[in-house]
Structure 1
């Protein structure tokens, strides 16, 4: 009986339920006062392109590691339909959900697919962090905070790229916790092939956030505002307790935007509106994935 359960569909239904629950409890559905409609529209174009490339990231990683070659459509379906799993507390299904789709369709071991999904997530976080570093050259922060941030970046880079570091870390965990762990390490050759897609993904989102901010603020907004979005998103994802980073991303954005020079009320408005803006992007990729999924089923039916 358990074998007949479609765990991918189940994860999708659960994620939507949690999304609706948190939207009901939160006050993020605020309609912005748009001052520049052209910039507002452009912000959504970049937002949607960013989400399409986020699906491409997953497909490229699977192809590079010779696990399975998904079509562009399958990449969008597996990643797009599972987009709301990040709103489930703990974020475990964020890694597993898209892997479940591939496992169901190609009967591939879920452990390997989950490993690849984790790799995709880690690379995305690292790229977002690298792009977000620019902010630290624009905002005056305390020396201690700068040290903490750059130590974390170095640690994260070693974690993702150094086999020697991985060997030592795994041995340390095994020594104290008596558990064998494993996580993906990226080689320089792999990075050259994988990172362009991830960078394009984040650049599109950052540009979209810049145009969103400049469309609702009366005075000129510096381009560095866009980079603040990448840094805030990474911090939000790393905050495992908050579903989808709700509240965390907004708090980080407000702090950075004020540091860049925006007025406090404008920083608050942008941070709150950005939640609705990004949610529209999530709904877009979910609907696109749903449509592609239906057409994919129709083609299979025709073949039969």
Structure 2
């Protein structure tokens, strides 16, 4: 078991290093393009971009409180924020499980049943990533290379699938099936379907807020119009999802940047695409660090 764990960690590190080496090499080979570009830095856009990023992170914590409420438990927003962003640091540890382990541990300290926390996290994973994929598919309407009718069909089909999966009765049965498999007690979502739709609307708003953040941040160093910013937000959404699903890379490191760079290079110079992907990683990591430090200052949460 120890040997397998060591092999996984080694593969994780090698994967990240190889991807970043390849991205760095491409940047180096295209350095002349970057040097010749007429850079116009707009530092005044950084602060408002940070505000929208903070709002984006805050909504994530709020969504978790709403899911817990659907399961019959209530914690306030500061409590949710503390647990969410202290545990989020675990995603940079190889293994992919540490975010979930730490979130369950911190939630358990305030009286949330471990089974309930796990169910709420699974529900949030499905809803958050479902909306992320739907958002990406929706942005395909802006891609000239994608036929409009094809994009519309994909949007409608995926929307129907997502609405079906997230129906309280369907979600409850699916989760209880897995709980029964692991010999755990059943759960029930105490919520009307319209409340779930409201939650999905909140997640869509979250994607819009992220698009505004992306537009402001990228335009602080690179001219990017609103349409391109929306396309980038869609690319980022699917890149994060693929990074999460790639269990070998901690925090989606390398994978996220690789996917972003490739997709962005379809409508931007490859050097610019890589630069945006790397800059976003740095800026968002700083945002996560800020959230972590704020979470440390929040008093030990108590169940209400």
TM-score past 0.5 threshold: yes
Matching residue of 2:221: 216
Matching residue of 2:120: 116
Match of 1:57 among 49, 53, 63: 63
Matching residue of 1:274: 280
Relative to structure 1, the CA distance from residue 200 to residue 117 in structure 2 (aligned partners, 3 Å threshold; closer, same or farther) is same
Relative to structure 1, the CA distance from residue 250 to residue 183 in structure 2 (aligned partners, 3 Å threshold; closer, same or farther) is farther
In the TM superposition, what whole-angstrom CA distance separates every residue of 1:175-212 from its partner, at most 9, and x where no partner exists? xxx87799998963331342243233332222212222
Matching residue of 2:237: 230
Q: For the residues of structure 2 that align with 1:42 and 1:254, how far apart are their CA atoms?
A: 25
Is 1:104 the counterpart of 2:109? The answer is yes
| 205-214 or 51-60: bigger deviation | 205-214
Is 1:250 the counterpart of 2:257? The answer is yes
Matching residue of 1:36: 42
Matching residue of 1:47: 53
Q: For the residues of structure 1 that align with 2:214 and 2:192, how far apart are their CA atoms?
A: 31
SS in structure 2 at match of 1:66: coil
In the TM superposition, what whole-angstrom CA distance separates every residue of 1:235-292 from its partner, at most 9, and x where no partner exists? 2222222111111211221222222x22221111001111101101111111110111
| 46-55 or 196-205: bigger deviation | 196-205
Offset, 1:75: 1.0
Structure 2: unaligned runs, 5 residues or longer: 1-12, 24-33
Is 1:130 the counterpart of 2:134? The answer is yes
Structure 1 ranges of 4+ moved more than 3 A: 24-28, 149-171, 178-187, 218-221
Offset, 1:50: 0.7
In the TM superposition, what whole-angstrom CA distance separates every residue of 1:152-182 from its partner, at most 9, and x where no partner exists? 77666554448569969998x9xxxx87799
Relative to structure 1, the CA distance from residue 42 to residue 113 in structure 2 (aligned partners, 3 Å threshold; closer, same or farther) is same
Structure 1: unaligned runs, 5 residues or longer: 1-20, 300-304
Aligned-pair RMSD on alpha carbons? 4.0
For the Cα contact (< 8 Å) 1:129–1:231, is it kept in 2? yes
Relative to structure 1, the CA distance from residue 281 to residue 34 in structure 2 (aligned partners, 3 Å threshold; closer, same or farther) is farther
SS in structure 1 at match of 2:247: coil
Match of 1:241 among 248, 256, 264: 248
What TM-score, normalized to structure 2?
Answer: 0.71
For the Cα contact (< 8 Å) 2:49–2:213, is it kept in 1? yes
Q: For the residues of structure 2 that align with 1:198 and 1:220, how far apart are their CA atoms?
A: 24
> Alignment length, in residue pairs?
266
Relative to structure 1, the CA distance from residue 160 to residue 237 in structure 2 (aligned partners, 3 Å threshold; closer, same or farther) is farther
For the Cα contact (< 8 Å) 1:115–1:184, is it kept in 2? no
Q: For the residues of structure 2 that align with 1:72 and 1:170, how far apart are their CA atoms?
A: 27
Relative to structure 1, the CA distance from residue 276 to residue 159 in structure 2 (aligned partners, 3 Å threshold; closer, same or farther) is same
Q: For the residues of structure 1 that align with 2:107 and 2:172, how far apart are their CA atoms?
A: 28
